[in-house]
A and B are shown apart, each in its own frame.
Chain A
Amino acid sequence: MEQVEVNPIVSIKDIRYSVFNQGIQYEILRDISISIAKGEIIVLLGSSGVGKTTLLRIISQLIIPSHGSVIFNTQAQKNQRLYGYVFQEPRLLPWRRVLKNVLFGLEEMPLKKKDKLKRAEEVLSMVKLTGLEHRWPYQLSGGQMQRVSIARALVVHPKILLMDEPFSSLDVLTRAQLQNNLLEIQNSTGTSIFFVTHDISEAIMLADRIFILQGSPAVVADEIQIDLPHPRSKTSKSFINYSLKIHQQFS
């Protein structure tokens, strides 16, 4: 914990966000502050519509906060990006084959073609999609599409991976596979992950720390450190205890 506060890779400070509708101001986020350390998995947990995606869009600079700042205490190296983004839906570009979708983030980087291809092959292997490079998105299952989306985010060698409920539309078995796959990838790359979900089990399964976003306007209602070794079992006593604690928070 101490290291996290001293040397965070990303600092989200006092974020507030409001929207105006017919002249009326609606405050969505209030005073959100979260620090993310290198290699850490932070899960932002909250019910649907609370403002989780809004916070992620602020971190990725898709929208500007009304107040506060997002500071990246690190610089992207050459041919690297600060963050990779995985959307809730895969959002693959349907006119590009799998390989070209993965290469999308590298297109304006001054890398040689063979290096780009090497990177793409590496990340496709990480997400276990080797051999499907030349398929069109419509030829993939939902889980495979989301794997491509993860590969596309990883190929830019991000300092942090921003993930917006990426497994929420998948069946339970595929979701479990992808959670394990994500942990393997995090283990091998050391990338920090900021993961948004409304699923308590998923949060405990993945997180080093969980931030609970609640209320209207949403505030960080609680921060929970998950001290469980990987692989985590949903049936273990400590897992269930964490789950009960979080459920209590929501009730």
Chain B
Amino acid sequence: MKRLRAALLRLTGLFGKQSRERELADELEAHVQMHTDDNIRAGMEPAQARRKAMLGLGSMEATRQAYRERSTVPLIENTMQDLRFALRQLRKHLGFTCTAILMLALGMGASVAMFAFVDAALIKPLPYQNPTRLVEATESIALFGRANLSHLDYLDWKRLNEVFSSLDVYTGSGFLLNTPTGTEPVPALKVTDGFFRTLGVVPMLGRDFYAGEDRPGASRTAILSYASWQRRFGGNRDTIGKTVSLGGNPYVIVGVLPKEFHFAPGGRTEFWVTDHADDSCEKRRSCHNLVGVARLKDGVSIEAALANMQSIAKQLELQYPGDNRGQGASVISLSEAFTGDVQPILLMLLGGAGLLLLIACVNVSSLLLVRSENRRREIAVRGALGASPARLVRQFITESLVLVAAGSALGVAAADGAMHLLVSLISQDQMSNMPFLLGLGMNRHVLAFAAVVALLAAILFSLTPLIRLRLNAVQEGLADGSRGSAGTVWRRFGANLVAVELAMTVVLLVGAGLLGKSLYRLMQVNIGFQPDHLATIHVVLPEVGYEKNEKVEAFAAEALAKTSALPGVRSAGIINILPVSSNGNTDWIRFVGKPYHGEHNEVNQRDASPDYFKTIEAKLLAGRYFTNDDDAARPLAVIINQSLAKRYFPGENPIGKKIGDDDLTPNSIKQIVGVVADVRDGSLDSQLMPAVYYPFSQDPDTFFALVVRTSQTEQSILPLLTATIHQIDPRAGTVDQGTMAEHVSASGNLHRSIAWVVGGFAALALLLSIVGLYGVIAYSVSQRTREIGVRMALGAQRGTVYRLILTEAGWLTMIGMGVGLVSAIGAATLVSNLLFGIRAWDPPTLAGAAALLSIAALAGSYLPARRAASVNPVEALRIE
């Protein structure tokens, strides 16, 4: 209690220092007076009496000091003093301060922003119960490591496995929702009844699906996503029990999912319905349309689960040699399934940002080193006046803390801005596949990361000047204060720092070069058609009313006829899946008259209308395009791509040959009527695959893309396309309208974003390290002015001086470049998966980075070299 009271009083003592000092002075004066009075009374001379009184009081200064320390908290008092001094120092060297803070903020901003992405995607657990025990279980084939699961296989897996406490499946879907403003296609996911129980997610409103609710013939029920509930139903609690029309069928809403729930493969899924396993695909073991989600039993590892599933897959392969040949199993953690693709990218970007941060820190350190060099005299004077070494050290720590605090505050603000900027650069589609990024922001993890970085920077910046300062060498400091000898420590240490910095810059430059070149190569990829002047729109027909193929075909024919007649339209075509989307939607084919051993000839399967190839301007290599006569009434026709022709008909003319399904079922036999040059079905960086095209009218689907070539701008035709579709049937939905050029370009979006971000890092790194190099060389020149003066006085030419300085810079650059190139190859090898069409040790890129750095380094060191060469020897010598 007593202590507390005293401590509080001392804290308040930090204020009102002046009045307290005056009061003490008064009190001491009174003391001396009274003592003097007494002494006089005792018979002393007045002067003698006062002197005696003063002596009795002892050292006045010591008393004052003791009193002062007692009346406040010396630590705080001193810190405040240090702080004031630090601020004054920093203000006096505004250029230094601003540069240091800006560089720090830049490094912090970049790395904190990148960490926030890493945190949101890779660190933050998925919003399910005990998410680390969840796995994705799928089949696996030679072509795709993770391939869909067929319904019958799923049932066997569920029955036979010994490693999952539960196994459920989902499959992507979509519905046409009737809204007051018309029909709207909405994304949906079909799941088995136990799906949410496996995830450990309980609806926040209403109920989960009952067990058995996924049986054929069970009533149609739906669970809403939180966003959909808010948007479409205004967040009303009485939404439960309401009926919505999905694709023309009534569904009863039974639940609403929690707000924080997300499921990356489902994207922006609004409706979750049970999969009644009643379509034709789910009756065939060879039709793969499901993805499994399972919860591991306690104590079962992912490896053990994989082994179990692989043995089951083997068993099924023996049991169903036709359907299950080559169908293995894949089990990976659910988080890997969701974020496996972006993980290496995010880690690479975090690494890049880390390098930038390091460069910034090194730069600030070397600036501090230069400053400590210049402050040796000040330190020596303070030391001579009695400042303790601890106090001097504290001064440096205080200054670095001020720098770091300002830099960090600015950096965190910059990171926040950068995050928003980067998120706004991610397209809606990409974002919907990465719902975990919605949690991006300045949360505790991110702030803790920023704090740790700031702490490390503060330690680094406090230590840097200390390395330089030998605090006890007061005399030396005083003596050589004005002498122009560059400290050897500085030469050795500061120079090395700059070489390190240059090396890191080379790594980033090479990285940016490789990624940029990858992007360029990606954009140069031959897609096999002309994407300009093509407008595209996806059409979704309702289930009800389009049960019969003829209806769908009639709609398609009318849509083609009407859009072809639109002004400016040169031709129009229909394809079930746009090119440059993804490989998949495959078919197993077999060739009539060729030996067959039960292998699965897996090829991409697409459905195209007669004018499709003409519209996209794909090249016909042999045979003919489809015609309007290739309809349901005629023999089945097929167009194959060049890859298929090369692989399965080497040296043969494939026209007229026949293909069928694995069993060559009579009604599956189709005749090859044409060969087209490869049109890239998958993304730009994917492999070309053999493909078959069936006439749309012989294999119609209620979901297809309409592709229109126009002589005008693509944008101007888009509204007309939508209007035309709705004119034919107002219940038809349209989605994803856009241009083919955008669609193709979007396939390179990921590469583009990475290239831009790393390019940005590299540019900043180059700027920072050249500033660093300039600083080092300029400082060296300023320290060597006298030496240069002497050299010139002794007859050195200006050219010699140039060479002297540029050699110094050249050495640093060479060392930095050498180390940097080697590290860059190493770093690029680590991320070689992200490169496209280029090796990690691409010589032109390495040479380009080296050349860029050399030019920049030359520019950075030219200015100080010129200053050195223009030194006037007479003045240089006189200054000293």
| A, B bound | no
